[in-house]
Homo-oligomer: A and B are copies of this chain.
Amino acid sequence: MTADEEDGRVRRAAERRSRRRVQLLQAAQRVFSNKGYHATSVADILAEASASRGTFYLYFPSKWAVFEALLEQMFQHISRAVRRVRVGEGSEPVVDQMNGNVCRVLDVVHAHRELTIILLREAVALDIDLDRKVAAFYGRLCQLVEGGLTLGQSMGLVRACDTRMVAHCVLGSMKEVVLDWLTASDPLDRDELAREILAYNLHGIYGGTG
């Protein structure tokens, strides 16, 4: 066997391996998002993936690890969607940037509906270790928001407030709305939803003249 042939063999093997891993992940994702973490047994995942027990443990060290991997994916997706708001010459208007963030997040959660539901409904109180991960993830998001708020305040765009607390408000309203959106029977369309979210966060509910 030449070095090239060897090379090809190894690469193909790696691809096969990676494909199998993805199959398992997707199967797990489907089952987890239907039945929840605890109600899902390894056997369920195996059945969904048409794989054998041994195979499963060849790719993942534990049931737990698959779940973690799925969450990690979702972290990536969302992190990529949310961008720091920039100000200064040549920057988009701030409101447009905020709108962009909201729209990108909505697109991502819609594209990964199952993962999102898992993240919002399950990734809580499962395990101290994971709790920390999830907390860290939401913490990062919160800090992004908080940073934006502080920046906005310094520019006179954001009113005086406890930025940390308000960041949590923003995050919380997003989480609740997204879960409702993804599980609603007749969801709003994305643009309208984004508009409402933005309006709510910018101006609250008050419509009075005061």
User: Using a CB–CB distance below 8 Å, which chain A residues touch chain B?
Assistant: 36-39, 121-122, 124-127, 149, 152-153, 156-162, 165-166, 168-177, 180, 188, 192-193, 196-197, 199-208
In this complex, what residue of B is CB-closest to A148? B205
- Using Cβ atoms and an 8 Å threshold, which residues of chain B touch A38? 38, 125-126
Q: Given A38-B126, A126-B36, A200-B204, decide whether A176 and B175 contact each other with a Cβ distance below 8 A.
A: yes
Q: Given A125-B122, A161-B205, A173-B173, decide whether A196 and B37 contact each other with a Cβ distance below 8 A.
A: no
Contact partner, A204, options B39, B174, B188, B203, Cβ 8 Å:
B203
- Using Cβ atoms and an 8 Å threshold, which residues of chain B touch A192? 162
In the complex, what distance in Å separates the CA atom of A39 from the CA atom of B157? 46
In the complex, what distance in Å separates the CA atom of A169 from the CA atom of B176? 6
B206 contacts A169, CB within 8 Å? no
* Chain A binding surface SS class: helix
Copies of this chain: 4
In the complex, what distance in Å separates the CA atom of A7 from the CA atom of B161? 61
Q: How near does chain B come to A9, taking the closest CB pair, in angstroms?
A: 14
Complex A-B, nearest 10 residue pairs according to Cβ-Cβ distance, in ascending order: A172-B176, A159-B207, A169-B173, A36-B125, A204-B204, A202-B206, A172-B172, A203-B204, A172-B173, A173-B173
A–B pairs, 10, beta carbons within 8 Å: A122-B124, A153-B207, A159-B199, A159-B203, A161-B205, A165-B180, A170-B173, A172-B177, A199-B204, A202-B206
- Using Cβ atoms and an 8 Å threshold, which residues of chain B touch A125? 36-38, 121-122
In the complex, what distance in Å separates the CA atom of A174 from the CA atom of B121? 17
